[in-house]
Structure 1
């Protein structure tokens, strides 16, 4: 499955700060991604990873 997390806790980040989808077979966090859409200092700092179940 693919998961994401917002790790900075900025007030610019709305909604869920951690969520996962269905399952996949290669668990690893991506490089960080900064989403700053309103030109205020900060922004949302996201990472994604793929998780897997052993034996599948």
Structure 2
């Protein structure tokens, strides 16, 4: 785990949010899969700085 991965996860999270907002309807399964990916990335984005802080 490093800061580069954290920034990539943050960018992916923001892009997924844009995709969900721009989708005019689409498939419910598609939207749910994007939201699940956002949830996993969100956990990583929140816990990574805490992990770094506690490991010092």
TM-score range, shorter chain: under 0.3
Structure in which a larger fraction of residues adopt strand = 1
Structure in which a larger fraction of residues adopt helix = 2
- Could you tell me the TM-score, scaled by structure 2's length? 0.28
